[in-house]
């Protein structure tokens, strides 16, 4: 997958807003592999909807979204399984971790599937993000900011052509935001992937190829 392109895409909920001013909705937009994009928006303009359309778990939009030349609405469930473990990685805004499992188990659950990172690499990420001491605690019992970092590690535990981060640092301090930015930049460049980051004001500090406002 080298390109994600949107053609006149618009959430059905926005259909009656005739003149929407957006760099993404109701126009033609391309996200290319190897480049990085920041999507800025106030809340309620459809950031998470965009992520869910691209990640294939919601289809309530008008227009088209294409992976290269394939329309996402035509991709079947088994193909999505492959895409979600080999081509696309998404950091959910609501994280979608499993609160009953420990932080490490949450990561392993993903890594068992992809077999992408070694134990040592996972340990290094925990250390870098300063949550190594929380590794064996149930995710439901640690703070949201810590959970956010666990979810970021999970998002990096797979091969991807595009990494999508939905408000990745909403609950992190500036120091941790920089650490996350460095870790993400390192992984994205190693994989030669594209990066799409959304923000409602607190941007993940990086040099973006393009900044779009939703």
Of residues 134 through 193, those in contact with other proteins by CB under 8 A are: 154, 158
Q: Is 57 in the site for other proteins (CB under 8 A)?
A: yes
Q: What 3-state class would DSSP assign to 52? A: helix
57 vs 133, which CB is nearer to other proteins?
57
Strand 162-166 vs strand 88-91: parallel, antiparallel, or unpaired?
parallel
Strand 36-40 vs strand 210-213: parallel, antiparallel, or unpaired?
parallel
Q: What 3-state class would DSSP assign to 54? A: helix
Shortest distance, position 128 Cβ to other proteins, whole Å: 22
Q: Go through the chain and tell me how many residues it has.
A: 214
Shortest distance, position 83 Cβ to other proteins, whole Å: 8
Among 110, 117, 134, 149, binds other proteins (CB under 8 A): 110
Among 60, 70, 98, 173, binds other proteins (CB under 8 A): 98
Shortest distance, position 110 Cβ to other proteins, whole Å: 5
Q: Is 73 in the site for other proteins (CB under 8 A)?
A: no
Place of tokens 């991807």: 160
Q: Is 48 in the site for other proteins (CB under 8 A)?
A: no
Q: Is 133 in the site for other proteins (CB under 8 A)?
A: no
Instruction: Please name the residue ranges forming H helices in 88-173.
Output: 103-114, 119-128, 144-156
Strand 70-71 vs strand 88-91: parallel, antiparallel, or unpaired?
unpaired
Q: Is 113 in the site for other proteins (CB under 8 A)?
A: yes
Residue 123 CA to its chain's centroid (Å): 21
How far apart CA 167 and CA 203 sit, in angstroms, is 8
> Would you tell me which residues interact with other proteins (CB under 8 A)?
55, 57, 77-78, 81-82, 84-85, 90, 92, 96, 98, 100-101, 105, 108-110, 112-114, 154, 158
């Amino acid at each position: 997958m080298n390109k994600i392109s949107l053609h006149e895409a618009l959430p059905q909920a926005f259909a009656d807003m005739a003149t929407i001013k957006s760099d993404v909705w109701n126009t033609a937009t391309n996200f290319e592999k190897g480049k990085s994009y920041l999507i800025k928006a106030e809340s309620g303009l459809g950031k998470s909807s965009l992520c869910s359309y691209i990640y294939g778990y919601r289809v309530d939009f008008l227009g088209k979204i294409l992976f290269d030349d394939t329309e996402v609405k035509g991709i079947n469930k088994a193909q999505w399984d492959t895409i979600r473990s080999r081509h696309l990685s998404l950091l959910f805004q609501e994280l979608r971790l499993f609160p009953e499992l420990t932080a490490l188990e949450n990561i392993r659950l993903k890594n068992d599937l992809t077999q992408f990172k070694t134990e040592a690499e996972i340990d290094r990420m925990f250390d870098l993000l300063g949550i190594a001491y929380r590794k064996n605690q149930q995710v439901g019992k640690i703070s949201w900011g810590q959970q956010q970092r666990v979810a970021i590690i999970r998002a990096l535990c797979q091969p991807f052509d595009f990494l999508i981060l939905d408000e990745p640092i909403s609950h992190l301090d500036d120091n941790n935001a920089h650490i996350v930015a460095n870790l993400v930049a390192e992984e994205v460049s190693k994989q030669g992937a594209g990066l799409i980051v959304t923000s409602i004001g607190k941007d993940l500090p990086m040099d973006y190829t393009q900044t779009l406002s939703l």
